[in-house]
């Protein structure tokens, strides 16, 4: 490693107006960060990656029978749904008895789905209106406000379902409430990007403003990869890297190319024929689904979910952003999940009325979402930086604003926190939050990633995670 004249941590690969950020490489760390260290082992020990934070959201409630562990502490038994991420138990914090009170009626009548998603990260009661929306700044945007200046994108809002922004989607509540998780301020949602090709272009193809529309058109007309334009620069950088970093760069470029191809394929492929064989109950209430503004089924959901997750990982790996939100679906979603042997409308199934068959189908949907989450964790944990992985340096929250979808209750919320944030979190346990606002947890998470805030929404303090 060239310790006297290292490459900049912000080195990017350039070519024909394209700029591609690089992943965390030891060779890019400034010499002053090492002091008198001279060996690779010492450098690795001293090095650590940036702290990242992300929120993954699941709608319509959970089959809590198969979610909540029976005991608290470190010696708890993994439940059926949580077993999907059992491999990360030592870096997992299951938190029970969190409350999102501002998703409750509080005098506003029906509309639990809209309130659940809008209040989840804001802790503010959404104003019941189709047009005059008002909620509050979300926790992710509080983080972006404090650490976003360190990266190209202060935050990244991803999604899988395109949502409406106007009209009524849930008993007089604007569709904006049901279809947005992130809010810049009380009346400005941060619209999520659900198009894989668009996300890829933002992260890579179009990450250099010098790429003109004409240059991009030429690149796409020739069916060229963004890598074709940066290979010369990549070869230049490669000569300056240590052996292990050469391998990392090669793996990174290969991953970018694979994801580029998959993003284009997912964006252009025709609808898939859904697998058959699963039983579709005939007694779901169409009126219930209509009230919540249920969305249509995405027939290539598994491919779309994985490519979005891969781009989330690349965004963290290249330090393009440190703040990400992504709902696996929006509140009121009627996405069907034949891939989980649950070829039924999600929202309708969540109104199970105590029917065990419907509850079992809901559990299958919950398990499918958790499997996508496990895929994210595996990818984050596979990328080493310093003496840990990206997962070790992150805080990834997974949960939703409704516990039992049939009751529409907003207490006993399902939530699991993954990652150790550089070793600052006491993981490997099931924790009783004792009915505090969920925004108390968000405040603590912000503390651990260096985005300290005093209050968000209805927070009453900070939930101790150490």
Q: What is the mean pLDDT of each run of 10 residues along the chain (466 residues)?
A: 42 57 70 35 51 97 97 97 98 98 97 97 97 96 96 95 82 94 95 91 64 58 64 73 81 81 75 40 33 61 95 93 97 95 96 96 98 98 90 97 97 97 94 98 97 96 96
- Supply the pLDDT for residue 231: 67
Q: How far is CA 150 from CA 26, 96, 241, 308, 449, in A?
A: 19, 33, 24, 23, 12
- Supply the pLDDT for residue 211: 53
- Supply the pLDDT for residue 1: 37
Please tell me the pTM assigned to this model: 0.85
Domain limits, the chain: 49-200+287-448
- Supply the pLDDT for residue 37: 31
For the packed helices 356-382 and 301-317, what is the interaxial angle rounded to 10 degrees? 30
Query: CA 60, CA 410: separation in Å to the nearest integer?
Result: 11
- CATH code of 49-200+287-448, in short, is 3.40.720
111: phi then psi, degrees, rounded to nearest 5: 130, 35
Tokens for 104? 């409750």
The three-state secondary structure class of 325 is strand
DSSP for 139-208, written as a single string? HHHHHHHHHGGGSSSS-EEB-SS----SSEEETTEEHHHHT-S-EEETTEE-PPB--HHHHHIIIIITSS
């059926």: which residue's tokens?
A: 80
Neighbours of 37 (CB within 10 A): 16
């Amino acid at each position: 490693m060239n310790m006297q004249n290292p490459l900049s941590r912000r080195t990017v690969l350039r070519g024909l107006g394209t700029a591609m950020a690089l992943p965390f490489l030891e060779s890019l760390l400034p010499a002053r960060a090492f002091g008198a260290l001279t060996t690779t082992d010492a450098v690795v020990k001293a090095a650590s990656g940036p702290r990242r934070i992300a929120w993954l959201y699941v709608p319509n409630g959970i089959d809590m029978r198969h979610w909540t562990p029976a005991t608290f502490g470190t010696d708890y038994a993994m439940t059926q749904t949580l077993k999907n991420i059992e491999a990360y138990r030592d870096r997992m914090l299951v938190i029970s008895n969190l409350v999102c009170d501002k998703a409750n009626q509080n005098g506003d009548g029906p509309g639990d789905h809209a309130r659940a998603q809008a209040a989840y990260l804001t802790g503010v009661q959404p104003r019941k209106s189709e047009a005059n929306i008002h909620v509050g700044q979300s926790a992710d945007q509080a983080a972006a406000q404090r650490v976003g200046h360190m990266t190209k994108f202060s935050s990244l809002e991803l999604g899988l379902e395109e949502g409406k922004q106007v009209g009524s989607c849930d008993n007089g509540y604007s569709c904006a409430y049901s279809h947005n998780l992130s809010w810049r301020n009380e009346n400005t949602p941060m619209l999520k990007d659900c198009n894989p090709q668009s996300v890829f272009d933002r992260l890579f193809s179009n990450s250099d403003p010098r790429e003109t529309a004409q240059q991009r058109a030429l690149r796409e007309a020739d069916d060229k990869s963004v890598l074709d334009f940066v290979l010369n620069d990549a070869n230049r950088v490669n000569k300056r890297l240590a052996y292990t970093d050469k391998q990392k760069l090669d793996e990174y470029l290969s991953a970018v190319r694979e994801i580029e191809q998959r993003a284009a394929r997912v964006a252009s492929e025709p609808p898939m024929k859904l697998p058959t064989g699963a039983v579709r109950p005939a007694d779901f209430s169409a009126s219930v689904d209509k009230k919540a503004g249920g969305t249509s089924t995405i027939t290539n959901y598994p491919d779309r979910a994985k490519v979005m997750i891969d781009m989330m990982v690349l965004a963290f790996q290249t330090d393009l952003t440190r703040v990400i939100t992504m709902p696996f679906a929006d509140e009121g979603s009627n996405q069907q999940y034949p891939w989980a042997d649950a070829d039924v409308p999600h929202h309708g199934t969540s109104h199970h009325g105590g029917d065990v068959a419907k509850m079992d189908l809901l559990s299958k949907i919950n398990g499918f979402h958790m499997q996508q989450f496990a895929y994210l964790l595996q990818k984050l944990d596979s990328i080493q930086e310093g003496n840990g992985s990206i997962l070790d340096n992150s805080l990834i929250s997974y949960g939703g604003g409704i516990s039992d979808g049939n009751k529409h209750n907003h207490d006993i919320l399902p939530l699991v926190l993954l990652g150790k944030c550089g070793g600052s979190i006491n993981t490997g346990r099931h924790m009783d939050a004792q009915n505090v606002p969920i925004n108390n947890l968000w405040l603590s998470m912000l503390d651990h990633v260096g985005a300290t805030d005093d209050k968000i929404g209805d927070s009453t303090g900070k939930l101790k995670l150490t």
